[in-house]
Structure formats: structure tokens, C-alpha cells
Structure 1
Amino acid sequence: MTLRLSDDEADALRRRAAFESRSMQDVAKQAVREYVENHSRRDLLENVLDAELPRYAEALERLGK
């Protein structure tokens, strides 16, 4: 896989990697892992809410009054 970054993105990644004394590749790989993990959790939560919320809609509506 080839990742093409703008000059600004590459500079920001280079600075961050230098600050953390890590390679640019390590920083980018960690960013991808965190992105996938965070979005996977959000998608799972949204699916659960979509499936379960209707069951409790009436009770939630009453609690909101």
C-alpha cells in the first residue's frame, strides 16, 4: 500500500514522529489502528441503539416529561 500525503500532512507526521522518537510508519500505523477501533466501537453502539431503542421509546419518552 502506498499512502500519499500532502506536504503539510507529511511535515506534521514527520514532526510528530520526531517528537515521539518513533518512525513515521509507526505513528501512521497506530493512527490507523486507533481510527478503526474508534469507528468500530461507534458503529457497534449505533447498531445496538438502533435495534434496542425502539423497545424502550415509550418509557424514555415518559421519563423525559
Structure 2
Amino acid sequence: MTLRLTDAETEALRRRAEYESRSMQEVVKQAVREYVENHSRRDLLSSVLDEELPRYAEALDRLGK
């Protein structure tokens, strides 16, 4: 895999890596892991709500009144 960044993105990544005393690769790999984890959780929650919310719609409607 090749990651193509703009000069500004590369410089920002370089500064961040230096600040954290880590390699640019380590910073990018951590960012990808966090992105996948966060989006996976959001997708799972959305899926559960889509499936379960209709079951409780009437009760939620009553509570809202």
C-alpha cells in the first residue's frame, strides 16, 4: 500500500511524530486503528438501533408525551 499525502499533510505528520518521539509510520498505523475501531462501534450501534428501536417505538412515544 502506498499512502500519498500533500506536502502540508506530510509536514504535519512529521511534526506530530517528532512530538511523540515515534515514527511517522507508527502514528499513521495508530490513526488507522482508531478510525476503524471508532467507525466499527458507530456502525454496530446504528445497526442495533435500527433493529431494536421499532420494537420500543410505542413505549418511547408514550414516554415523550
Please tell me the TM-score bracket, short chain as reference: over 0.9
Structure 1 residues not aligned, in runs of 5+: none
Percent identity at matched positions?
82
> What residue number does 1:58 align with?
58
Residue correspondences, number: 65
TM-score, scaled relative to structure 2: 0.98
TM-score, scaled relative to structure 1: 0.98
> What residue number does 2:10 align with?
10
> What residue number does 1:39 align with?
39
- Output one character per residue of 1:6-62: Cα deviation in whole Å (capped at 9) or x when no partner: 111111100000000000000000000000000000000000000000000010011
Measured on the aligned residues, the alpha-carbon RMSD in Å equals 0.4
Runs of 4+ in 1 over 4 A off after TM superposition: none
